Amino acid sequence: MDKLDLFIATSLGSIKERREFQLAYCEGGSLDRFHEKLKKKRSEVESIKEYCECSGVEIVLYDSQIYPSLLKQIPDAPLLLYAKGNVDLLKVSTAISMVGTRGATQYGTTMAFELAKELAGYGTVIVSGLADGIDAASHRGALSAGSTIAVIGSGLKFEYPAVNRDLYQQIYAEGLVLTEFAPDISPDRHTFPVRNRIIAGLSRGVVVVESKSSGGSMITAQLALDYDREVFAVPGRATDVTSRGTNKLIKLGAKLVESSSDITEELNWLIPKDAVKQEVKYKLSEEEQLVFDKMSLEPIYIDNLAEQVGLELKKVLTILTFLEMQSIVRQIPGKYYVKG
């Protein structure tokens, strides 16, 4: 019987069955009882293969040359992966996962976007879970400068969550959407914790940007520790609920992250000279520098900025427009501005 069919059929079984098959296959043991499994699942296997062939989905088996070497190191690595997009990204050895809360603050989404953008600009592949909030910001930041992998908690027939449907399509076109779940498996509360082990297993380390004291991001961080991967955390205000998880991780020994260099230096990654982020392309005037120096990754309302620098609102708006053209300042909804 066809090896692909056998892998698909077994992957539809229990965790125990998948693990037993993996051990038997890798050690050259008897696969007879798994062939019986295939006979019972034949119609389902054929349906999955037909969908993948018609939808441009590649099935990456555990023993395939493009199966991620890092993922293969974890004890519960999936038997196969359904990949939609650029499968060459699975070969990249410099991958970093970025995760965080769905209910992110503006500070959190800005930090996630900027960190992902800088790391992707260095050739790093950013891995995340396509959830709203920190995940989405990380994917968008990565796509603005390089590549990203979205590991989803469902089959590929589901573009979930609906709010990120456009982002899903963009990642499919420019990056890679990945899952171990068969195409018809819908997202639910049981599939996402299972998905998290792949996010942790694919990368050299996990960056938690914002998180409550418990939840999916903290589970992913613990999995990373279990897999002997690095754990990084972005600090936040002590009074913010969304910073309790990251601050807790830092107390427990996670590497504190303020910029991408904190990650690359910890991992001893050499950054190509031509990949270093360019700074201001034009010498700023005294007033332009004054406005720029008053800004940070924390959003500031334009009226408050004008008051702080002591300039007319119209003048500050002109300066901000110029700084935006230099790609060193961004406007966000509500007439707020941030660096980056």
Helix axes 32-40, 3-11, angle to 10 degrees: 80
Q: Give the pLDDT mean for 242-255.
A: 94
Q: Give the pLDDT mean for 330-337.
A: 83
Domains 88-275 and 286-339 share a fold: no
**Residues 6+ positions from 126 with CB-CB distance below 8 Å:** 95, 96, 97, 98, 116, 119, 120, 138, 139, 141, 142, 146, 147, 148, 149
**Nearest partner of 219 among 254, 256, 245, 189, judged by Cα:** 245
Partners of 179 in beta bridges:
82
Instruction: Encode 85-125 in three state secondary structure.
Output: ECHHHHHCCCEEEEECCCCCCHHHHHHHHHHHHHHHHCCCE
Task: Determine whether 300 is exposed, middle or buried from the number of CB atoms within 10 Å of its CB (0-12, 13-18, 19+).
Answer: middle
Is the full-model pTM beyond 0.75? yes
**Residues 6+ positions from 29 with CB-CB distance below 8 Å:** 23
Q: Give the pLDDT mean for 216-242.
A: 93
Mean pLDDT of the chain: 88
Indicate the CATH number for domain 286-339. Answer: 1.10.10.10
Assess whether pLDDT exceeds 50 at residue 308: yes
- Kindly list the domain boundaries of the chain, sorted by start residue: 1-54, 88-275, 286-339
Nearest-angstrom CA–CA distance, 259 and 47:
46
CB-hemisphere CA count at 13 Å for 27?
8
Q: Which of 171-175, 261-265, 281-285, 333-337 has the highest mean pLDDT?
A: 171-175
How are strands ordered across the β-sheet holding 80-85?
58-61, 80-85, 176-179, 148-151, 125-128, 95-99, 205-208, 230-233, 255-256
Q: Topology of 88-275 in CATH?
A: Rossmann fold (3.40.50)
**Nearest partner of 151 among 98, 224, 212, judged by Cα:** 98
pLDDT tens by residue, 68-113: 999 999 988 999 999 999 999 998 888 999 999 999 988 898 899 9
